[in-house]
Amino acid sequence: MKGIFRGFRLKLKRGKKPEERMEEVVEEKEAPRLTMRTRTFLSGRGHLLASYPLYEPWAYAFIVEDPKTGKIVYNVEEVSMNETELKTYKEVIDYITWELEPPEEITDAREYLIKYARKAIRLFQIKLGRTPGLSWAKISYYVERDLLGYGPLDPIFRDPNIEDISCNGVGIPVYVWHRKFESLPTNIVFRTEKELDEYILKLAHMAGKHISVAYPILDAILPGGHRVAATFQKEVSTKGSTFTIRKFRADPITIIDLIDYRTISPEIAAYFWLAMDYKMTTLILGVTGAGKTSTLNAMANLLRPTYKIVTIEDTPELRLPQENWVQLVSRPSYLATGGIGEITLFHLVKVSLRYRPDVIIVGEVRGEEAYVLFQAIATGHSGMTTLHAESIDAAVKRLTSPPMNIPPSYIPLINVAMVIKRVVRTDETGRPRPARRITNIWEIEDYEKYKEIARWDPIRDTFSLKLSDSIVLKKISELTGKPLENLIEEIARRKAILEWLAANRIRSYREVATYVQKYYVNPRAVLKEIGVGEI
Ligand SMILES: Nc1ncnc2c1ncn2[C@@H]1O[C@H](COP(=O)(O)OP(=O)(O)OP(=O)(O)O)[C@@H](O)[C@H]1O
Ligand SMILES: [Mg+2]
Whether 509 is in a domain gets the answer no
- State the Cα–Cα distance between residues 258 and 299, nearest whole angstrom: 10
- Verify that 268 and 230 share a domain, yes or no: no
Do 201 and 288 lie in one domain? The reply is: no
The CB density around residue 357, as the number of other CB atoms within 10 Å, is: 22
231 and 270 part of one domain: no
pLDDT at site 1: 34
Kindly state whether residue 488 falls inside one of the protein's structural domains.
no
- Predicted local confidence at residue 24, as pLDDT: 27
Lowest mean pLDDT among 78-87, 328-337, 343-352, 377-386: 328-337
Which residue is closest in CA terms to ligand 1's atom 2? 436
In the chain, the number of structural domains is 2
**Which one of the ligands is nearest to 316 CA?**
2
Asked, for residue 241, whether it belongs to a domain, the answer is yes
Question: According to DSSP H, which parts of 427-508 are helical?
Answer: 471-480, 484-503
pLDDT digits (tens, 9 = 90+) for 481-514: 999 999 999 999 999 999 999 999 999 999 999 9
Cβ of 439 less than 6 Å from ligand 1:
no
Q: Which tops the pLDDT comparison, 67 or 404?
A: 404
Nearest to 309 by CA among 291, 296, 290: 296
Signed CA dihedral, 146, 149, 150, 152: sign only: negative
> Is residue 387 in contact with ligand 1, taking CB distance under 6 Å?
no
Same structural domain for residues 226 and 93? Answer: yes
Ligand minimally distant from the alpha carbon of residue 164:
1
Confidence bin at 22 (pLDDT 50/70/90)? very low
Give the residue numbers spanning the domain of 230: 3-246
Q: Is 379 in the pocket of ligand 1 (CB under 6 A)?
A: no
Q: What is the mean pLDDT of residues 103-123?
A: 77
Please indicate whether residue 452 or residue 110 has the higher confidence score (pLDDT). 452
Residues 147 and 285 both lie in one domain: no
The 10 Å Cβ neighbour count of residue 203 is: 22
C-alpha of residue 383 to centroid of ligand 1, in Å:
21
Protein residue whose Cα sits closest to atom 3 of ligand 1? 436
Residue 10 pLDDT more than 60? Answer: no
The mean per-residue pLDDT over the stretch 458-463 comes to 94
Q: Is residue 439 part of a domain?
A: yes
Domain final residue pick, 219, 246, 273: 246
pLDDT score recorded for residue 25: 28
- The residue with greater pLDDT, 27 or 528, is 528
pLDDT at residue 533, rounded to an integer: 66
pLDDT score for 101 = 77
| Residue 242 confidence (pLDDT) above 50 | yes
pLDDT given at position 336: 54
Does one domain contain both 61 and 170?
Answer: yes
Among candidate residues 140, 316, 306, the one with its CA nearest the CA of residue 228: 316
Q: Compute, in angstroms, the gap from residue 40 CA to the centroid of ligand 1.
A: 36
Task: With cut-offs at 50, 70 and 90, classify the pLDDT of residue 39.
Answer: low
In a domain, 512, yes or no: no
Phi, psi at 479, each rounded to 5°: -65, -40
Is 345 inside a domain boundary?
yes
CA-proximal residue: ligand 1, atom 23 (nearest): 289
258 lines ligand 1 (CB under 6 A): yes
Q: In this predicted structure, which of 16-25, 146-155, 436-445, 478-487 has the lowest mean pLDDT?
A: 16-25
**Nearest bound ligand to CA 287?**
1
Q: Are the C-beta atoms of 382 and 360 separated by less than 8 Å?
A: yes
Model confidence, pTM: 0.83
Claim to verify: residue 144 and residue 285 sit in the same structural domain: no
Q: Do both 231 and 262 map to the same domain?
A: no
d(CA 378, CA 19) in angstroms, rounded, equals 65
Of 265, 290, 279, 342, the residue nearest 479 (C-alpha): 279
Q: From the CA of 157, how far away is ligand 1's center (Å)?
A: 16
Packing angle between helix 509-521 and helix 484-503, nearest 10 degrees? 150
pLDDT of residue 26: 25
User: Hey, whose CA ends up nearest to atom 4 of ligand 1?
Assistant: 436
> What CATH number is given to the structural domain containing 451?
3.40.50.300
Instruction: Give the per-residue pLDDT at 7.
Output: 29
Phi, psi of 421 (to 5 degrees): -130, 155
Give the pLDDT confidence score for residue 17 in this predicted structure: 36
* pLDDT beyond 50 at 4: no
d(CA 484, CA 476): 8
Question: Distance, CA 293 to ligand 2 centroid (Å)?
Answer: 4
| Pocket lining: 246 vs ligand 1, CB cutoff 6 Å | yes
How distant is the alpha carbon of residue 95 from its chain centre?
Answer: 36
What is the model's pLDDT at position 233?
93
Task: Find the 403 Cα to ligand 1 centroid distance in Å.
Answer: 26
Final residue belonging to a domain, choices 246, 272, 301: 246
Q: Which of ligand 1's atoms lies nearest the C-alpha of 247?
A: 29
In this structure, is residue 179 part of a structural domain? yes
Which is nearest to 322 in space by CA: 501, 523, 491, 510?
510
Same domain, yes or no: 238 and 295: no
Mean pLDDT for 313-322 is 92
Q: Is any atom of ligand 1 closer than 6 Å to the C-beta of 422?
A: no
Q: Is the CB of 458 under 6 A from ligand 1?
A: no
Q: Are residues 158 and 200 both part of a single domain?
A: yes
Which ligand is located closest to the Cα atom of residue 439? 1
Contacts made by residues 468-471, CB under 8 angstroms, sequence distance 24+: 470/271, 470/443, 471/415, 471/443, 471/444, 471/445
Ligand 1 atom closest to residue 296's alpha carbon, by position in its atom list: 18
CATH number of the domain that 129 lies in? 3.30.450.380
Ligand 1 contact, 292 CB (< 6 A) = yes
**Per-residue confidence at 535, pLDDT binned at 50, 70, 90?**
low
Clarify whether residues 171 and 295 are in a common domain. no
Q: Is the pLDDT of residue 227 over 60?
A: yes
**Mutate which of 164, 293, 315 to test ligand 1's pocket (most atoms within 8 Å of Cβ)?**
293
Domain edge (last residue) among 246, 277, 302: 246
Ligand 1 atom showing the smallest separation from residue 388 Cα = 25
Q: What is the DSSP letter of 12?
A: P
- Closest ligand (CA of 252): 1
Q: Pick from 85, 79, 78, 81: which is nearest to 132 by CA?
A: 85
Pocket test for ligand 1, best of 162, 249, 263, 294 (most atoms within 8 A of CB): 294
pLDDT band at 204 (very low <50, low <70, confident <90, very high): very high
* Cα-to-centroid distance, 287 and ligand 2 (Å): 9
**What pLDDT score was predicted for residue 15?**
35
If residue 84 lies in a helix (H) or strand (E), which one and from where to where? helix 83-99
User: 161 CB less than 6 Å from ligand 1?
Assistant: no
Mean pLDDT of 342-367: 93
**Averaged pLDDT score across all residues of the chain:** 87
- What separation in Å is there between the alpha carbon of 411 and the centre of ligand 2? 22
Question: How far is Cα 326 from Cα 319, in angstroms, rounded to an integer?
Answer: 11
Residue 313 shares a structural domain with residue 225? no
pLDDT of residue 426: 85
Q: Is 122 in the pocket of ligand 1 (CB under 6 A)?
A: no
CB of residue 160 inside a 6 A radius of ligand 1: no
Name the closest ligand to CA 162. 1
What is the atom index within ligand 1 of the atom nearest the CA of 258?
Answer: 1
Q: Whose CA is nearest to atom 6 of ligand 1?
A: 291
422, 289 Cβ separation under 8 angstroms: yes
482: in domain = no
**pLDDT higher than threshold 60 for residue 35:** no
Distances in whole angstroms, Cα of residue 173 to Cα of each of 183, 190, 215:
12, 8, 26
